[in-house]
Amino acid sequence: MGWVYAFSETEGLGKELLGGKGFALAEMTRLGFPVPPGFTLTTEACRAYLERGAFPEGLWDEVRAQVERLEAATGKRFGGGGEGLPLLVSVRSGAPVSMPGMMDTILNLGLTPDGVQALAEATGQPRFAWDSYRRLVQMYGEVVLGIEAEGFERLLDRAKVLAGAERDVDLSASDLERLVGEYRRLIEAAGRRFPDDPWQQLEGAVRAVFESWNNPRARTYRRLYEIPDDVGTAVNVQAMVFGNLGDDSGTGVGFSRNPATGEKGLYGEYLKNAQGEDVVAGVRTPQPLERLRESDPGLYDEIADVAARLEAHFRDMQDFEFTVERGRLYLLQTRAGKRTPEAAVRIAVEMAEEGAIAREEALLRVDANTLPSLLRARIDPERAPEAAAEGLPASPGAAVGHAVLDAETAESWAGRGLPVILVRPETTPEDISGMYIARGILTARGGMTSHAAVVARGMGVPAVVGVAALSLNLEERSFRLGERSFKEGDVISLDGTTGKVFAGEVALSEGGSGEYLHRLLEWAEPHRRLGVRANADTPADARRARELGAEGIGLVRTEHMFFDPERIPWVRALILAETEKEEREALERLFAFQRADFMGLLEAMDGLPVTVRLLDPPLHEFLPPLVELERKEAAGELAPGEAKVLAQVRQLHEVNPMLGFRGVRLLLVRPEILRMQVAALLSATRALREQGRDPRPELMIPLVSTPEEVEQALAVVREAFAEFDLELPVGTMIETPRAALVAGSIAPLVDFFSFGTNDLTQLTIGISRDDAGHFLPRYLDARTFAHDPTERLDEAAVGRLLEIAVREGRAARPDLKLGICGEHGGEARSVHFAHRVGLDYVSASPFRVLTARLAAAQAAL
């Protein structure tokens, strides 16, 4: 088979081979859109190259044949000097999955010193010819020869100063010619050489694109977006058209719908007399496309028409690049546009309502994991102080954090738990990891389609870009917003919905979910088979969860009710009690607190199940930390009574508390606590029933690993049932591997299993939930783990235990109810798994109820 295909001869070939860009170019060519001719080197050629470290045999014969066809089609000659125009090409990467900003592009390739003269003569524009050459040398120098961009930028800035020029376009042909000479010397000083031979240029460029598949930025992106490493990228070689031939030329980016809000209609940006990279790189700030409506209505209508037709063909919101060469429109690429979660929902819903896609398709188009971000905080415009500066609202949502001036600092501060806002002149793909971890992003340059904007929207991180009043001093680690100066570390706030930036901390208010989301989730409902509950410990959380569609509570962590400052003294009193009287008093107090809490929760979830888990954590969590007391003791500062506390803390101290005196073990050793909790729940239930309400509590025993533990705990529970003459469903958590493996003998004892996948993951893989941060990032980087197992259920092992427990549990007790209440219950892929293995429900934190609802429907589609 071939390694290379012309855009016009790709019938029947798919995205996997041609890459997303190559596939779209081929489609557009076939449909008769104005696409400059070109050809694609396939992903297979890339994989072959990366495997062997050399170009596969026959590849360059095919490339030469294609270049000849381009020459014939355009009437230009590759590397041509002398008569006529030289054929120049762009070389761009294009992986099967879009990876914006990750790979590299080279424009004007094929220009040589002779070609520059020919181009200058044939166009009558020496300035344009030298500018094209200057761009080629710079891009090639950066991308292929690995010279730092800053060196070129410095020379360019100096040339402008020397020429008294304010903008790049004010440099004359001879300024640019001189600049090219300086660029060449810069490259030579680094021990490299810019090739004058166009074929060497092409070979170097193709090699660079193939190799860029493995650069660290691309790897990071693939890891974040779960794209496999062994796909490879295609390379597209396309005849150049020029947006920098004067004011009737230009370049732009268009969207068939607004990528931030989802609103229908042409949206985008345009930069006159410029080449494409100027817009995407965010180096110059372009004009909204809307302005063309007045200045060039014919062109505007043509672009709007193209946008609509592209969308109708590809059946999704399109993001396309175009160039206007002397008034003629050319399309350079199109793809499904990146969009904010808000826009994704609105676009899916509206396209279904327009009849462009089916409702089921609309449901599948939204990444369920992004839905909680729709409830993202906002800055209330009524209550906001005066903004320190304003820029473009590139990615919605509000953020408050410490300003950090580079990605590395962002990562290190965020790693220490500080919320950070990444402040940069502009962002480049090197900033990806810092952007990901930041609460917000702020840049001085760039438009709505700059790297920062596109990536932030994709990640759902609020961003304000193109803030003209922002200037940075990276050496002094400071910046200014208009009149005010700031140091790195100062707190700032930003609102990516309005583009406003504020000094200090601004109060945030909760987001609302919006009509489109509401409609989408309504469409989802009839499809899902899994029930969706919430993990909630307070009536407020329970109400919130219910509003978001939760069908009950799958986990009440009762210990959370004890951490309240008013209550913790009573928990301590219970733990430290020396006499029966002291113990009774503490239990009575705690009973009253719990009863009131249960009443609130059951009321909020009236008519729906509420699964109350009995006390789970080790008791010492309620006591002052040992080190603190020992420090006081050493300093002779122990208060009266604290000596006793210290002794107790020492006695309860565990080297490995997560594997220690907790869960059912605690309940069996201190049954009075168990009895108190059950009594509080029964008493609350009875009181509500007497009020005519419909409370539906369930009891759940944590961290069991043997049927005997369950039996013994049940004995105490049953005594309480008898005392109240009231019975409730009782279940157990399955959160130790042993419990999963002996599920068949536990099941006959209980009404339900709830998989505590947080502990089950911790105990199965042997990684601490609390400390894994020390090595997990490295593991994920190196792909030692494909995913963070604390986030996405590890199907191979934890999943397997779950399946065993489901199978053997149901075999022993067919009507056994099964659910997940670990964090995984709110993660889309894990919800799909829960659906596949036939669980009855998942339970997630309140915001993630949205994710669970949509993911459950998607799993069933």
Q: Where are the alpha helices (DSSP H) in 460-563?
A: 515-524, 539-547
Q: Which is nearer to ligand PEP, 608 or 700 (CB)?
A: 700
- State the minimum distance, in angstroms, from the CB of residue 330 to Mg ion: 59
The piece of 102-110, 301-309, 401-409, 752-760 that touches ligand PEP (CB under 6 A) is: 752-760
DSSP state of 355: T
Q: Which is nearer to Mg ion, 245 or 734 (CB)?
A: 734
Residue 296 contacts ligand PEP per CB under 6 A? no
Q: How far is CA 169 from CA 112, 130, 224, in A?
A: 22, 12, 38
Binding residues with Mg ion: total (CB under 5 A): 3
Q: Which is nearer to Mg ion, 602 or 703 (CB)?
A: 703
Residue 198 contacts Mg ion per CB under 5 A? no
Q: How far is CA 778 from CA 226, 694, 772, 786, in A?
A: 16, 50, 11, 11
Instruction: Tell me the C-alpha distance between 384 and 397, whole Å.
Output: 14
Q: Which one of Mg ion, ligand PEP, none is in contact with 259 (Cβ closer than 5 to 8 A by kind)?
A: none
Instruction: Tell me the C-alpha distance between 127 and 168, whole Å.
Output: 11
Q: Which is nearer to ligand PEP, 422 or 740 (CB)?
A: 740
Q: Which is nearer to Mg ion, 701 or 850 (CB)?
A: 701
- State the minimum distance, in angstroms, from the CB of residue 679 to Mg ion: 24
- State the minimum distance, in angstroms, from the CB of residue 501 to Mg ion: 42
Q: Which one of Mg ion, ligand PEP, none is in contact with 571 (Cβ closer than 5 to 8 A by kind)?
A: none
The piece of 18-26, 537-545, 688-696, 734-742 that touches Mg ion (CB under 5 A) is: 734-742
Binding residues with ligand PEP: total (CB under 6 A): 10
Q: Which one of ligand PEP, Mg ion, none is in contact with 632 (Cβ closer than 5 to 8 A by kind)?
A: none
Q: Which is nearer to Mg ion, 155 or 703 (CB)?
A: 703
Q: Which is nearer to Mg ion, 201 or 764 (CB)?
A: 764
Residue 403, beta-bridge partner list:
421
Letter string b/e over residues 666-686, b meaning 16 or more CB atoms within 10 A of that residue's CB: bbbebbbbbbbbbbbbbbbbe
Q: Which is nearer to ligand PEP, 287 or 758 (CB)?
A: 758
- State the minimum distance, in angstroms, from the CB of residue 13 to ligand PEP: 47
Instruction: Tell me the C-alpha distance between 826 and 844, whole Å.
Output: 5
- State the minimum distance, in angstroms, from the CB of residue 769 to ligand PEP: 8
Residue 307's φ and ψ, nearest 5 degrees, are -60, -45
Instruction: Tell me the C-alpha distance between 393 and 499, whole Å.
Output: 4
Among 423, 555, 704, 801, binds ligand PEP (CB under 6 A): 555
- State the minimum distance, in angstroms, from the CB of residue 758 to Mg ion: 5
> Site map for ligand PEP, 559-598, x if CB under 6 A?
----------------------------------------
Q: Which one of Mg ion, ligand PEP, none is in contact with 319 (Cβ closer than 5 to 8 A by kind)?
A: none
Other C-beta atoms within 10 Å of 479: how many?
A: 24
Contact indicator for 471, 444 with CB cutoff of 8 Å: yes
Sign of CA dihedral 717, 722, 724, 726: positive
824 given a catalytic annotation = no
Other C-beta atoms within 10 Å of 699: how many?
A: 25
Q: Which one of ligand PEP, Mg ion, none is in contact with 557 (Cβ closer than 5 to 8 A by kind)?
A: ligand PEP
Instruction: Tell me the C-alpha distance between 182 and 280, whole Å.
Output: 26
Q: Which one of Mg ion, ligand PEP, none is in contact with 269 (Cβ closer than 5 to 8 A by kind)?
A: none
Among 168, 759, 823, 827, binds Mg ion (CB under 5 A): 759
SS3 per residue for 688-723: HHHCCCCCEEEEEECCCCCHHHHHHHHHHHHHHHHH
Residue 735 contacts ligand PEP per CB under 6 A? yes
Residue 759 contacts ligand PEP per CB under 6 A? yes
The piece of 238-246, 369-377, 513-521, 733-741 that touches Mg ion (CB under 5 A) is: 733-741
Instruction: Tell me the C-alpha distance between 41 and 93, whole Å.
Output: 10
Residue 738 contacts ligand PEP per CB under 6 A? no
Three-state secondary-structure class, residue 752: strand
Q: Which is nearer to Mg ion, 103 or 555 (CB)?
A: 555
Q: Which is nearer to ligand PEP, 103 or 542 (CB)?
A: 542
Among 30, 309, 557, 810, binds ligand PEP (CB under 6 A): 557
Instruction: Tell me the C-alpha distance between 446 and 424, whole Å.
Output: 11
Residue 316 contacts ligand PEP per CB under 6 A? no
- State the minimum distance, in angstroms, from the CB of residue 682 to ligand PEP: 23
193 CB burial (10 A radius; 0-12, 13-18, 19+) = exposed
Give the H or E element holding residue 212: helix 198-212
- State the minimum distance, in angstroms, from the CB of residue 52 to ligand PEP: 47
- State the minimum distance, in angstroms, from the CB of residue 557 to ligand PEP: 5
Among 20, 110, 549, 756, binds Mg ion (CB under 5 A): 756
518 given a catalytic annotation = no
Q: Where are the beta strands (DSSP E) in 474-623?
A: 478-481, 484-487, 491-495, 500-503, 508-509, 531-535, 553-557, 609-613
- State the minimum distance, in angstroms, from the CB of residue 822 to ligand PEP: 3
Residue 559 contacts Mg ion per CB under 5 A? no
Closest C-alpha among 722, 743, 723 to residue 812: 743
Active-site residue, selected from the candidate residues 46, 402, 451, 835 = 451
- State the minimum distance, in angstroms, from the CB of residue 675 to ligand PEP: 21
Interacting positions 410-469 with ligand PEP (CB under 6 A): none
Tokens 């410490």 correspond to: 402
Q: Which is nearer to Mg ion, 274 or 740 (CB)?
A: 740
The piece of 8-16, 643-651, 753-761, 789-797 that touches ligand PEP (CB under 6 A) is: 753-761
Interacting positions 812-841 with ligand PEP (CB under 6 A): 821-822
Residue 840's φ and ψ, nearest 5 degrees, are -90, -35
Which residues, other chains included, contact 718 with Cβ-Cβ below 8 Å and sequence gap of 6+?
none
Residue 764 contacts ligand PEP per CB under 6 A? no
Q: Which is nearer to Mg ion, 411 or 759 (CB)?
A: 759
Interacting positions 602-621 with ligand PEP (CB under 6 A): 616
Residue 392, beta-bridge partner list:
465
Active-site residue, selected from the candidate residues 402, 821, 824, 835 = 821
Residue whose C-beta lies closest to Mg ion: 759
Residue 217's φ and ψ, nearest 5 degrees, are -65, -45
- State the minimum distance, in angstroms, from the CB of residue 820 to ligand PEP: 8
- Relative to beta strand 531-535, strand 508-509 is unpaired
Q: How far is CA 662 from CA 621, 626, 667, 754, 760, in A?
A: 10, 18, 8, 18, 15
Q: Which one of ligand PEP, Mg ion, none is in contact with 822 (Cβ closer than 5 to 8 A by kind)?
A: ligand PEP
Instruction: Tell me the C-alpha distance between 542 and 227, whole Å.
Output: 37
Residue 757 contacts ligand PEP per CB under 6 A? yes
Residue 618 contacts Mg ion per CB under 5 A? no
Chain-centre distance for alpha carbon 153: 32
Angle at 87 (CA atoms; ends 86, 88), nearest 5 degrees = 110
Amino acid at 385: P
Residue ranges binding Mg ion (CB under 5 A): 735, 756, 759
Residue ranges binding ligand PEP (CB under 6 A): 555, 557, 616, 735, 756-759, 821-822
The residues that are catalytic are 451, 821
